[in-house]
Amino acid sequence: MRRYHPNLVRQCLLLTGGLALAGLGVALTTRAGLGTSPISSLPYVFTFFTPLTFGMATFAVNILFVLGQVALLGRGFPALQYAQLGVVLVFGVFIDLGMWVGGLWVPEAYWGRVAEVLAGSAVLAAGIALQIHADLLFNPGEGLVKALCRVTRARFAWTKMCFDVSLVASALLLSLLMLHAVRGLREGTVLAAFAVGLCLRWLVPLFRPVRRWLFA
């Protein structure tokens, strides 16, 4: 039987497109001024008391996620996955670009800001769905969750939820310690968490035809 392999160039294009959409989605969610998504909560808080941009802080925090995978898996960590650092560097650039684009117009009405959070969540979910179907490299946050699952034998969905909650809790603690106030975490953080999850459940199956394009 003839075996078909994915087209590497197309995988890279799909991954890059997914990173661009995800970066724009994070930026739109954040620019609404109602908080940011859980996965971005910790780096976003860093931007309030350091000279780092949102994208730079995202890159710095994700370095810790990659080191966490190495610590958990040891020699079981695939050498290819070190390329996650390059992926998150590109992701950080797209976040900063998205923050600039999103800053050109921010709704004044509260309902408009809620709509922007929902729109950003949908765009972020689309970017994640494309990265999933590219099936080339892990996002460092997702890679750390998978490493935790491998070590603890826990379910991915449960571990992912606990990981997101721990990020928000860490961001909250850091904000209180460094800023003596809660910054970057609001109702939009909770809204984005549910909206991204719901959109992913719909978009991942919807984007399955992309797999045929990869193997063409």
Please tell me which residue, 38 or 175, carries the higher pLDDT value. Answer: 175
- CA dist 160 and 165 (Å) reads 9
Predicted pLDDT of residue 139: 82
Predicted pLDDT of residue 21: 93
Predicted pLDDT of residue 80: 85
Q: Considering the chain, what percentage of its residues have pLDDT values greater than 70? A: 96
Residue 204 CB: number of other CB atoms within 10 A? Answer: 16
pLDDT in tens, 108-153: 899 999 999 999 999 998 988 888 888 788 788 888 988 898 888 8
**Most confidently modeled of 101-105, 140-144, 178-182?**
178-182
Q: Is residue 1 over pLDDT 50? A: no
Beta carbons of 31 and 99 less than 8 angstroms apart: yes
Element (H, E) at 55: helix 54-73
pTM equals 0.86
> What confidence category does residue 3 fall into, taking pLDDT thresholds of 50, 70 and 90?
low
Tell me the pLDDT of the chain averaged across its residues. Answer: 87
Domain boundaries in the chain? 8-214
Q: Which residue has the tokens 């079981």?
A: 76
Predicted pLDDT of residue 70: 93
pLDDT in tens, 23-75: 999 999 999 889 998 889 999 999 999 999 999 999 999 999 999 999 999 88
The H-assigned helical ranges of 74-186 are 84-102, 110-134, 140-152, 156-179
